[in-house]
């Protein structure tokens, strides 16, 4: 693994140098071979579980790693907290992957830092495994996400009300720069650091903006526009597969547009636009269909941070041009505000457009038009009213195009909607001799998963893992034990658009449609 540490170049304000806390008996439980290969982790390492457990528990730092905890702030459920930061995570450094993308490698659950506040810096086994399973599932579904390289049990008991086994999960992400990282410096009025962070983020995530001969002002606005575009893709993808993040605070919103911080996330069972599973989300702020609006709100918070920089850039240009001496300070500030607000307002139109294209694809139509929009709205209304299972309904719709039994069943559930949809599909304009139904079905098969990480299966597997680790006193081969429990589920989840032997076992909807399911942040 060839580490570099470009984030450290930003300076001491951005992080605390701190080593992971040593743990008594690290044992490797899960190892992501595919991800490891993409990071060029040598086979010699990969076949040495002992070595991996030392490195990915934080007991030993690999060569070139320089452990730091990042500083950030964040709006949590709408309330600003100026001092958050990595309270239980250590960034080891960055590694270039096979696609030449710089990836952060970060330990989570690896002990206290200056940002721990009252927390113990630890992570329990179940949430660590959960993050691994959920992120792999999202990755295979095609949703932008951070991924997990390893889960290592620490041999410690940690206090989560009850004594729980401790673990460290290694997370790999395009970066850990959050909206909250910008907020950290904006809240402190530290414009110099804010500018450094902006330049670093552009260089790392949108280097093409540096190639264009654009002004600082234009670069900043393009940056915001691009971050927003990535958020739109992210949320649309969550909606497509029925993912509810559960805690879309600004500190959990990555600039790179990947899903991070899986805490209380869940998958939707019965379609309900108001679905919320997190025990702490009392008012449904982060409900399924609110996610788009919340991402816009989070982008507006990023815009707040960029505003003082933009004002500065506009003033500089005005001075250089020396032609608008009459422009008052206030007028320049208003100019900056107008420009940034315009971008934030564009979000709504762009999001709605992407939303209807995504759902049009799910019902076999290529683009959104008035017909597909009406069909989408109509279908979702029926699904809401009848509490139909989200994944199952779309999958059945796909199958029904070539399976008369499924078609009959759906006709009785969806009534007139089904016939209207079918005739709309047949009218789609395609090249002569092409079969419209076949084309529609292929499009639907790519967009409607046959299997998702259903909450009840995830929970059952996590409980079995916890029990196995707790009762296996000798801990002879926890790696084999955990992989024998999780392995088949992961294999199935890695193929979410194709049924394999074993897929059927994980397709069933929960008996209560998840009406009683609750997730917790106590990770
Ligand atoms: P999260 O809910 O995981 O997004 O975390 C929100 C904030 O709480 C972040 O600053 C975390 O680093 C911090 N945090 C969460 N759990 C712990 C813990 N067990 N120990 C220390 N800090 C924590
Ligand atoms: Mg977080």
- Contact in structure between 173 and 281 (CB atoms under 8 Å): no
122 CB within 6 A, ligand 1? yes
Q: What is the pLDDT of residues 177-229, one digit of tens each?
A: 999 999 999 999 999 999 999 999 999 999 999 987 889 999 999 999 999 99
Residue 226 Cβ contacting ligand 1 at under 6 Å: no
- Residues 121, 113: Cα–Cα separation, whole Å: 7
**Spatial CB neighbours of 251, under 8 Å, sequence gap ≥ 6:** 72, 73, 74, 75, 76, 81, 84, 178, 179, 180
Residue owning the nearest CA to atom 13 of ligand 1: 87
pLDDT class for 92, splitting at 50, 70, 90? Answer: very high
Q: Which ligand 1 atom minimizes the distance to the CA of 86?
A: 12
Q: Is the CB of 459 under 6 A from ligand 1?
A: no
Q: Using a 6 Å cutoff on CB, does residue 82 contact ligand 1? A: no
Cβ 86 under 6 angstroms from ligand 1: yes
Q: What's the farthest any 2 CA atoms get from each other in the chain?
A: 79
Nearby residues of 330 by Cβ (< 8 Å), 6 or more positions away = none
Question: Are 357 and 373 contacting, i.e. CB atoms less than 8 angstroms apart?
Answer: no
Question: Tens of pLDDT along 25-50?
Answer: 999 999 999 999 999 999 999 999 99
Residues 6+ apart with CB under 8 A from 234: 143, 144, 257, 258, 259, 295
- The H or E element that residue 383 is part of is helix 370-385
Digit-coded pLDDT (tens) for 101-158: 999 999 999 999 999 999 999 999 999 999 999 999 999 999 999 999 999 999 999 9
If one compares 474 and 506, the residue with the highest pLDDT of the two is: 506
To test the pocket of ligand 1, the residue of 16, 110, 119 to mutate (highest count of ligand atoms within 8 Å of its CB) is 119
Reported as a single tens digit per residue, the pLDDT across 344-384 is 999 999 999 999 999 999 999 998 899 999 999 999 999 99
Active site residue 251: yes
- Cβ(519) – ligand 1 distance below 6 Å: no
Block residue for tokens 């691009």: 226
Q: Could you read off the pLDDT of 15-28 as tens digits, one per residue?
A: 999 999 999 999 99
Q: Is the pLDDT of residue 245 over 60?
A: yes
Q: What is the mean pLDDT of residues 305-333?
A: 85
> Is the distance from the beta carbon of residue 131 to the nearest atom of ligand 1 less than 6 Å?
no
- Say yes or no to pLDDT of 521 above 80: no
84 lines ligand 1 (CB under 6 A): yes
Q: What per-residue confidence (pLDDT) applies to 293?
A: 98
Query: Going by DSSP bridges, is the β-strand pair 102-108/89-96 parallel, antiparallel, or unpaired?
Result: antiparallel
Ligand 1 mutation pick, 75, 77, 83, 88, max ligand atoms within 8 A of CB? 88
Q: Which residue, judged by its Cα, is nearest atom 17 of ligand 1? A: 119
Ligand 1 atom with minimal separation from the 113 CA:
21
Ligand nearest to the CA of 179: 2
pLDDT at residue 482, as a whole number: 96
- Among all bound ligands, the one having the nearest atom to the CA of 69 is 1
Q: Which position among 86, 251, 270, 272 bears the catalytic label?
A: 251
Residues written for the chain? 523
Closest approach atom of ligand 1 to CA 122: 19
For atom 12 of ligand 1, the residue with the nearest CA is 87
pLDDT band at 321 (very low <50, low <70, confident <90, very high): confident
pLDDT tens digits for 224-235?
999 999 999 999
Query: Is the C-beta atom of 16 inside 6 A of ligand 1?
Result: no
Mean pLDDT of 488-509: 97
pTM: 0.96
Which of 20, 112, 116, 131, when mutated, tests ligand 1's pocket best, judged by the most ligand atoms within 8 Å of its CB?
116
The per-residue pLDDT of the chain, averaged, comes to: 95
**pLDDT at residue 510, rounded to an integer:** 87
Q: What is the residue with the minimal CA distance to atom 6 of ligand 1?
A: 84
Residue with CA nearest ligand 1 atom 11: 87
**How confident is the model at residue 429, as a pLDDT?**
66
pLDDT (mean) for 456-466: 96
Please report, rounded to a whole number, the percentage of residues in the chain having pLDDT higher than 90: 88
pLDDT category at 326 given cuts 50, 70, 90 is low
pLDDT for position 474 = 64
* pLDDT score at 466: 94
């Amino acid at each position: 693994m060839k580490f570099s540490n470009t984030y450290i170049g930003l300076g001491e304000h951005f992080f605390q140098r701190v080593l992971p806390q040593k743990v008594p008996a690290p044992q490797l439980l899960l190892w992501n071979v595919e991800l490891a290969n993409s990071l060029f982790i040598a086979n010699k390492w990969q076949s040495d579980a002992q070595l991996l457990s030392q490195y990915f528990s934080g007991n030993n730092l690999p060569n070139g790693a320089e452990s730091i905890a990042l500083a950030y702030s964040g709006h949590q459920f709408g309330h600003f907290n100026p001092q958050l930061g990595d309270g239980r995570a250590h960034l080891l450094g960055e590694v270039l992957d096979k696609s030449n993308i710089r990836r952060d490698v970060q330990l989570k659950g690896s002990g206290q830092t200056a940002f721990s506040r009252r927390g113990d810096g630890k992570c329990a086994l179940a949430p660590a495994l959960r993050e691994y399973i959920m992120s792999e599932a999202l990755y295979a579904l095609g949703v932008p996400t951070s991924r997990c390289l390893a889960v290592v049990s620490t041999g410690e008991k940690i206090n989560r009300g009850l004594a729980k086994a401790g673990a460290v999960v290694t997370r790999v992400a395009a970066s850990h720069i959050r909206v909250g990282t910008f907020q950290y410096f904006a809240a402190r009025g530290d414009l110099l650091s804010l500018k450094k962070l902006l330049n670093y983020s552009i260089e790392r995530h949108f280097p093409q903006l540096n190639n264009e001969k654009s002004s600082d002002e234009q670069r900043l606005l393009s940056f915001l526009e691009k971050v927003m575009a990535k958020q739109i893709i992210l949320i649309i993808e969550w909606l497509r597969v029925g993912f509810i993040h559960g805690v879309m605070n600004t500190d959990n919103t990555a600039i790179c547009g990947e899903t991070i911080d899986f805490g209380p996330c869940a998958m939707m069972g019965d379609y309900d636009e108001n679905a919320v599973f997190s025990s702490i989300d009392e008012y449904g702020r982060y409900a399924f269909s609110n996610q788009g609006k919340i991402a816009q709100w989070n982008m507006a918070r990023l815009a707040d941070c960029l505003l003082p920089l933009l004002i500065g850039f506009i003033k500089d240009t005005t001075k250089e041009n020396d032609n608008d001496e009459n422009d008052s300070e206030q007028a320049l500030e208003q100019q900056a505000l107008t420009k940034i607000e315009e971008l934030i307002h564009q979000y709504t139109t762009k999001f709605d457009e992407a939303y209807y294209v995504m759902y049009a694809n799910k019902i076999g139509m290529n683009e959104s038009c008035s017909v597909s929009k009406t069909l989408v709205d109509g279908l979702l209304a029926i699904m809401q009213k009848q509490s139909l299972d989200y994944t199952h309904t779309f999958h059945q719709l796909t199958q029904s195009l070539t399976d008369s039994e499924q078609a009959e069943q759906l006709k009785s559930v969806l009534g007139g909607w089904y016939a209207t949809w079918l005739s709309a599909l047949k009218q789609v304009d395609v090249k002569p001799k092409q079969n419209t139904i076949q084309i529609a079905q292929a499009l639907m098969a790519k967009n409607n998963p046959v299997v998702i990480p259903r909450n009840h299966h995830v929970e059952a597997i996590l409980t079995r893992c916890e029990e196995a680790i707790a009762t296996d006193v000798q801990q002879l081969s926890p790696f084999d034990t955990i992989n024998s429990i999780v392995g088949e589920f992961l294999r199935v989840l890695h193929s979410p658009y194709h049924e394999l032997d074993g897929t059927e076992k994980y397709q069933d909807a929960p008996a209560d449609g998840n009406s009683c399911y609750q997730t917790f942040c106590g990770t």
